Amino acid sequence: MKSSKRLKIGMVCPYGWDTPGGVQIHIKELAEFLIRAGHEVSVFAPVSDDSLISEPWLVSAGRPVSIPYNGAVARILFGPVASSRVRQWISSGNFDLLHLHEPAIPSLSLLACWAADGPMVGTFHAASAKQKAITAVGPILEPVLEKLTARIAVSEMARQTLKDHFDTEAVVIPNGLETSKFEVDDENPDWVGEPTIGFIGRFDEPRKGLEILIAALPETLKTFPQLKVLIAGPGEKAEFLKKIDPVLHSRLTFLGKLSEADKVKFFHSIDAYIAPNTGGESFGIILTEAMASGTAILASDIPAFSQLLNYGEFGSLFTSEDAHDLAAKLTALLSDESGRHTLAAKGLLQSRKYDWSTVAEQILDVYEMVQVGNGKVSLSSDNRVWNRFKAND
């Protein structure tokens, strides 16, 4: 179903815009796709440095603060000042609908859900076991989430998390991807080696699992003594190297945060992409990017990755947090060039189901559904939920 109406869409990002993350990438690429399709989009997000804003459709809500969340550190914005800014943005936007990402956590999205009435879509990205903290505030959050006209989960795990915490359902629409961008075969000769593997993520964040990959290297180097490991993403390199056997230092190349163009070159310069994450993932957008690049994948068998790779059909899996199994599976993958290419080809074909041309149309179907008979977004005059939250803070 394609919307024949030009929509004015207000989209809210809960996390700091200038911090790398799958949610931010999803929102950015969805906004760009919708604008190209003729819709008007305004994205409201926390921004650390307003001078670095390059997107004309991005509106800064102010500087985020860091809080621990779901095994990581989330940079969010919350509280009375943020609430006032959300209301001003909604009031001036004249939106046909709001699309709120992660509205169940203390964030701009939750504030927008409190502040607005009318057509609202919520997308839930996170997957986690049932937590006492969330259960405790459930009675406060449930009336807010009931205001959502429609709910989207980016994976079956995210849907189940929503079901477990709030006993409500969502339609599953995966994260989108601009597949054509990754299909360009453009390697960086300085990164190519015999063989080369790659990792992307905040390398000093334990749940990303780089330490497990490092622990697997001594065993892998017995078969591949010239193995090269490219490590991309933010983190304190000097501090991380202190924890690693100096013998391994020459095998590691730290690339820092990659531009989108360099990320494409990264995937085309490696023989395999390694995802040793230990948990806290609901989808795995980085895996779909590797698949779209035609790069073979070796990932931990956490539920999100196992489901995305169809239990080994589109990428090899190793036992999560088991460095010995990682070493064995990595050695096998690098030793079997034909099998590696076959695996990569299957992943490439599968990645096309995540292209924005497919995913965004599914989201537009939801937009059209919530628009029927719902008018425009307006400010709510009922602040009782916000007052209850402050009373429980």
* Domain locations in the chain as residue ranges: 8-176+355-392, 179-353
Residue, of 66 and 288, whose pLDDT is higher: 288
Fold agreement between 8-176+355-392 and 179-353 = yes
Amino acid at 197: I
Q: Are 10 and 101 within 8 A, CB to CB?
A: no
Residue with tokens 């622990």: 215
Q: What stretch of H or E contains 207?
A: none
Query: What is the CATH number assigned to the segment(s) 179-353?
Result: 3.40.50.2000
> Is 50 exceeded by the pLDDT of residue 132?
no
User: Angle formed by the axes of helices 285-292 and 22-36, to 10°?
Assistant: 60
Buried b (16+ CB within 10 A) or exposed e, 14-47: bbbbebbbbbbbbbbbbbbbbeebebbbbbbbbb
Residue, of 333 and 129, whose pLDDT is higher: 333
Cα dihedral 147, 21, 134, 301 in deg (nearest 10): 120
Taking domain 8-176+355-392, whether its CATH number is 3.40.50.2000 is answered by yes
Q: In 3D, which of 66, 146, 71 has the Cα closest to residue 106?
A: 66
Lowest mean pLDDT among 20-29, 205-214, 258-267: 20-29
The Cα-based distances of 29 to 24, 43, 150 in angstroms read: 9, 11, 21
pLDDT exceeding 70 applies to what percent of the chain?
91
Q: What angle do CA 109, 206, 318 make, to 5 degrees?
A: 105
> Is 90 exceeded by the pLDDT of residue 131?
no
The Cα-based distances of 132 to 72, 82, 241 in angstroms read: 18, 26, 36
pTM over 0.75: yes
pLDDT, tens digit (0-9, with 9 covering 90-100), for 187-201: 999 999 889 999 999
Q: What integer pLDDT is reported at residue 8 of this predicted model?
A: 97
> Is 80 exceeded by the pLDDT of residue 166?
yes
User: Angle formed by the axes of helices 108-115 and 132-145, to 10°?
Assistant: 40
Q: How confident is the model at residue 71 (pLDDT cuts 50, 70, 90)?
A: low
Query: What distance in Å separates the CA atoms of residue 373 and residue 73, rounded to the nearest whole number?
Result: 40
